[in-house]
Amino acid sequence: MNNIALYGAKPIRASKLYYGRQSIDASDIKAVAAVLQSDWLTQGPKVRELEGFLSNHFQAKYTVTTSSGTSALHLACIAARIGSGDEVITTPLTFAASANCVRYCGGDVVFADIDLDTYNIDPADVERKITAKTKAIIAVDYAGQPAALAELKQLCEKYNIILIEDAAHSIGSVCDGKPVGSIADLTTFSFHPVKTITGGEGGAVLTDNKQFADAMRLAANHGITKCESDFAIPTPGSWYCEQVMLGYNYRLSDIQAALVLSQAQRMDSFIGRRKEIVAKYNAAFCDLPGIITHQDRVGNDSCWHLYVIRIVPEILGCSRREFFDALAAENIQPQVHYVPVHLHPYYRKLGHVPGECPVAEAVCENILSLPLYPALTDEDVNDVISAVKRLHCFFTSRL
């Protein structure tokens, strides 16, 4: 029997690979340096240029850039007028921010289960969980694959609720021929370093609804307006402004906007490289019993944010924990996306319990994400494949 690094063999590679990583080049550095030498560091021409670019590229009338994907989600919930007593339905297979944004507004989070093949929220379970209090659905495009947006939109029309799409994973994905950003009532992006394109931090909300866009701009800027036509009292001078609500500082800076704009020029090649790597992984893993790959839904063209595999412990001959540790020992550091949100202590204290979303809970027991980012070389990709094959061979022959 062969051996593996976890039990003393030499690791497949010497340096660690992580599941995600930014790609920064000289043009990015030049773009950021130019802003540092300009008159504007915070909101200036680059923020406006980025908002124009995003609206144009993703076919939304309005884009409001934000300090993060999380603040984008909060602003979307503010635009949707989520408040105390309202319910918002989302998936448990996501980063906590997709649910926390509802809590910031005082609303209650309801978790609907996922589909076993796509890992995205299941519209049938969403419909079962709709009540008279349901105000919005927050769909998450898990791993880059657009959620069942057509079905969810139908539900939203039928029950008069708002569709928010957390597209942190799916910047550049296409659903039934339409770019993500042009489909939901409100779509949120994140420019965190592991996402399709980065600004270090940053985010955006895209919408066709002017009222939503105005409400979000106001809330992102302390609730302070400089628009004379909005003033409650006659303006005493051109310095005057009014705070009309309790807002926040959720602004993106020109430094970050310049980086996102520079990255956006390489977005297609980033996504192309991600797809190439996914094709190599799929070809290598398709005939490994006990390892299930994540397939793109028909009609989706995913930007492939994550490469998620699900193991079947009885067939593979090891637990997820042992497989995870064994991969890490080979210097292929995996990650688990995610711990089901409703099972975190914070949500349990609010009354959520195991069994609420049985499919998501079962899937979360056995998934892990392999390295996937544009800067991976063919050699890196081959190391990942060799490591998975080595573990597969070792564990199945141990059975």
Ligand X SMILES: *Cc1c(COP(=O)(O)O)cnc(C)c1O
Query: CA-CA distance, 242 to 225, in Å (whole number)?
Result: 5
Q: Among 122, 166, 185, 361, which residue sits at the site for ligand X (rule: CB under 6 A)?
A: 166
The reply on whether position 119 binds ligand X by CB under 6 A is: no
Per annotation, catalytic residue among 133, 135, 195, 389: 195
User: Among residues 140, 168, 169, 145, which one has the least CA distance to residue 300?
Assistant: 145
Looking at residue 120, the DSSP 8-state letter turns out to be: S
Dihedral of the CA atoms 230, 231, 232, 238 (nearest 10)? Answer: -170
Query: CA-CA distance, 312 to 291, in Å (whole number)?
Result: 6
The first and second tokens of residue 309, run together, are 């595999």
Q: Among 107, 203, 290, 334, which residue sits at the site for ligand X (rule: CB under 6 A)?
A: 203
Nearest to ligand X of 278, 387 (CB atom): 278
Query: CA-CA distance, 221 to 234, in Å (whole number)?
Result: 22
Q: Among 13, 46, 192, 294, which residue sits at the site for ligand X (rule: CB under 6 A)?
A: 192
x/- binding map, residues 280-319, to ligand X, per CB under 6 A?
A: ----------------------------------------
Which stretch in 66-74, 102-110, 259-267, 389-397 sits in contact with ligand X by CB under 6 A? 66-74
Half-sphere exposure of 143 (CA within 13 A, CB side): 33
User: How far apart, in Å, are the Cα atoms of 25 and each of 191, 238, 357?
Assistant: 16, 43, 42
In the complex, minimum distance from the CB of residue 346 to ligand X, in angstroms, rounded to a whole number = 16
In the complex, minimum distance from the CB of residue 27 to ligand X, in angstroms, rounded to a whole number = 23
Nearest to ligand X of 147, 284 (CB atom): 147
The reply on whether position 168 binds ligand X by CB under 6 A is: yes
Q: Which residues contact 212 (CB under 8 A, 6 or more apart)?
A: 62, 79, 80, 185, 186, 205
Nearest to ligand X of 166, 330 (CB atom): 166
Nearest to ligand X of 138, 291 (CB atom): 138
Length of the chain: 399
Residue with the closest Cβ to ligand X? 69
The reply on whether position 95 binds ligand X by CB under 6 A is: yes
Dihedrals φ, ψ of 310, to 5°? -120, 130
* β-pair partners for 134: 87
Tell me how many residues contact ligand X (CB under 6 A): 14
Nearest to ligand X of 169, 217 (CB atom): 169
Region of 27 please: left (phi>0), alpha (psi -120 to 50) or beta: alpha
In the complex, minimum distance from the CB of residue 2 to ligand X, in angstroms, rounded to a whole number = 36
Query: CA-CA distance, 153 to 380, in Å (whole number)?
Result: 40
In the complex, minimum distance from the CB of residue 304 to ligand X, in angstroms, rounded to a whole number = 14
Sheet of 307-311, strand order: 291-293, 307-311, 367-370
User: Among residues 114, 113, 166, which one has the least CA distance to residue 136?
Assistant: 166
Which stretch in 51-59, 162-170, 282-290, 383-391 sits in contact with ligand X by CB under 6 A? 162-170
Inter-residue contact 168 to 145 (CB < 8 Å): no
The reply on whether position 74 binds ligand X by CB under 6 A is: no
The reply on whether position 196 binds ligand X by CB under 6 A is: no
Nearest to ligand X of 69, 181 (CB atom): 69
In the complex, minimum distance from the CB of residue 97 to ligand X, in angstroms, rounded to a whole number = 4
The burial of 319, by beta-carbon neighbours within 10 Å (0-12 exposed, 13-18 middle, 19 or more buried), is given as: middle
Determine whether 226 is an active site residue: no
The first and second tokens of residue 180, run together, are 């993500």
Q: Among 75, 82, 140, 278, which residue sits at the site for ligand X (rule: CB under 6 A)?
A: 140
Nearest to ligand X of 93, 384 (CB atom): 93
Q: Among 68, 170, 253, 263, which residue sits at the site for ligand X (rule: CB under 6 A)?
A: 68
Which stretch in 29-37, 143-151, 166-174, 205-213 sits in contact with ligand X by CB under 6 A? 166-174
In the complex, minimum distance from the CB of residue 68 to ligand X, in angstroms, rounded to a whole number = 4
User: How far apart, in Å, are the Cα atoms of 273 and each of 54, 118, 128, 371?
Assistant: 22, 22, 39, 13
Active site amino acids: 195
Q: Which residues are at the interface with ligand X (CB under 6 A)?
A: 68-70, 94-95, 97-98, 140, 166, 168-169, 190, 192, 203
